[in-house]
Amino acid sequence: MYNAKYFLPGSNMSGRLTWLHIILMKVENLLMQLKLALLMAILVSGAPAAQAVLIDFNDGVAGDIIDSLYTNQGVIFSNAERVTNFGLSGSTGPYGISAIGAYQWFSDNPVIAYFSSDITDVSIIGVDVGENGLQLTAYDSEVGGNLLDLAQVFGTDLGNNQFFTLSVSAHLIKRVEIYQIQHVSIDGIVVEDLKFFNRASVPLPATAWLILIGLAGWRVTCRTVRVSGS
């Protein structure tokens, strides 16, 4: 509780200065909260969306070995072949990918995607996913490394017309591996629409930078007032 003498007309100069400091501190805190709230509103509404790369694999013919076909988009594949996606009506086009020469492919024979820059979000669509399931696993290194995130899904029976989107998110994803989880039936799969981007690469809007500079200037001004008045 504040000392009552700071609020009495007869208070000494020290009391009046202390009262002024209290008011300045309260005003500073209030303005700081208001400016931070405004900054967050600008970040949410005004920040540009991260530029995602989408590869649908429909720009070639069945039998193409993918490898470095999409280097210009920032990804290189290993053990990936372009295949037809069973002609299912829910597909985004006529082709997807699978492990080379394999109708079924598991953790010992995965499709691997290596990214040329650090990625934070990766997704893939599994086509005709049945009881053998599908897994997308993210790592922080091109070889070995730490497991960052994984996504799993299981369909039913042979997975006829069952589509699932798997997504992983983490800091500094360098590669993902894609494969079926278990071998309990003759269920095979195709994957399509690899999508990836880096949220950390999105710049702050210019307005947000101005507000941050303003916040810093306000704090310096308030400190200067308190020091000169002490």
What lies within 8 Å, CB to CB, of 111 at 6+ separation is 77, 78, 79, 80, 97, 98, 99, 105, 177, 178, 179, 191
pLDDT for position 17: 58
pLDDT at 161 over 50: yes
Name, of 5-9, 105-109, 203-207, the range with top average pLDDT.
105-109
pTM (2 d.p.): 0.67
